[in-house]
A and B are shown apart, each in its own frame.
Chain A
Amino acid sequence: MKFADFILPGAVKAEITAANKQAVIREMVQSLLDAGGIEKDEYESIVKAISKREELGSTGIGRGIAVPHTKHPSVNRLVGSVAVCSEGIDFDSLDCEKVYLFFLLVSPPERPGDHLRALEHITRQLKDDTFCRFLKQSKTKEDILALLEEADNNMFGK
């Protein structure tokens, strides 16, 4: 699986305005809505489901990365948004560090494999220090999209 298979280009944001964990989730789900990835009627339900998943344990997995996610019956395919926050946000991460890179995923409940393949792709790419550093430094949506495309084309070392 590649970023292009699940990240909606219209749901990619540099410099998000959110200042806390809940606001990040709301802003990123709003991005998905704006990009046509989810239905308007489902916005609150998806935000609630992602927040509930966070209560089970933060999806801040360390190294300044978080992957908030949920399964949701309203989507018929995996959809994802990306956000970068240069200031960093407290996301209750496992390593207690701030989070700078967010990948938010909403997947159909009956397709757990797609979710796992997306996590595999995200984490494999983010293990590359160069990719991770450039992504954190991205100032525009175009920069982020270009980096994701380069990663999809295996232009970063593994």
Chain B
Amino acid sequence: MTHFPKITRELLVSNRCGIHLRVGNMLAQKAKEFSSDIRIRKGTYAADCRSVLDILSLGAFQGDAVVIETVGEDAQQAAEAIAELFNARFYEDEQVQ
């Protein structure tokens, strides 16, 4: 069995409204484009990035640091794609939640 190293990225939640439902959905949809296992960790909580319910239960607010962990064949690409969403502040229109 092939062993894939875990890739981790520290990211900051920088949009004003934090990881709310629409952002959670955006992350879950992106995660589903990859075969790798993708987790978002905040403190002691870890969420499966494919589950909106899981992601929302993190309670990730503006200014919070989270860690993305990816393991699998396309782990590098997955980590980059998720990081891109964070860095783009989830393309948020701050007026709509």
Contacts and interface: CB of A to CB of B under 8 A. Distances in A.
Interface of A: 53, 56-57, 59, 61-63, 65, 67, 69-71, 94, 112-113, 115-117, 119-120, 122-124, 126-127
B16 interface: yes
A151 to B, nearest CB: 13
Contact of A61 (B16, B56, B58, B61): B56
A112 B17 contact: yes
Contact of B97 (A65, A71, A122): A71
Contacts of A61: 21, 24-25, 52-53, 56
Chain B: number of interface residues, binned into ranges: 20 to 34
A139 B52 CA distance: 27
B1 to A, nearest CB: 30
Contacts of A57: 22, 25
B59 A62 contact: no
A120 B56 contact: yes
Question: Which 6 pairs show the lowest CB-CB distances between chains A and B?
Answer: A120-B59, A123-B57, A123-B56, A124-B57, A112-B17, A61-B52
A13 to B, nearest CB: 22
A117 B52 CA distance: 15
26 contacts: A53-B96, A56-B22, A56-B96, A57-B22, A59-B21, A61-B25, A61-B52, A61-B53, A61-B56, A62-B51, A62-B52, A69-B21, A69-B97, A70-B97, A112-B16, A113-B61, A116-B20, A116-B59, A116-B61, A119-B20, A119-B21, A119-B59, A120-B56, A120-B58, A120-B59, A127-B57
A120 B57 contact: yes
